[in-house]
Amino acid sequence: MPVKVPKSLCTMMETIPVPKLTVSFAVEIEVEYNSFGGKTADEISESLQDELHDLLFELDQVTGVYTSCTAINSND
């Protein structure tokens, strides 16, 4: 049987919204790449993206991260 909770208790449990910002950056990362090293350029990109997410989440105020790889260029 469901328990009826008084409305006054429900309003006390509501959270106060915290203001948030969305900040966008364009970042280019140059890395040394050996095509014979066992990883493809796409795998290197995914690895860098994962590392970037990990580093950003180390900051206390970061609550979410979205990144997308827009280009991979060989600079021979």
- Residue 27: give the domain boundaries: 16-76
pLDDT at 71: 94
* 10 inside domain: no
Q: For residues 6 and 41, which has the higher predicted lDDT (pLDDT)?
A: 41
Q: What is the arithmetic mean of pLDDT over 46-60?
A: 95
* 9 inside domain: no
As for how many domains the chain has, the answer is 1
* 61 inside domain: yes
Residues 6 or more apart whose Cβ sits within 8 Å of residue 24: none
Candidates 67, 35, 70, 28; CA nearest to 49 is 67
Ordered alpha helix ranges (H), the chain? 7-12, 41-57
* 51 inside domain: yes
Q: Across the chain, what does the average pLDDT equal?
A: 87
Residues 24-42: pLDDT tens digits?
999 999 999 888 888 999 9
Q: How far apart are the first and last CA of the chain?
A: 71
Q: Work out the percent of the chain whose per-residue pLDDT is above 90.
A: 64
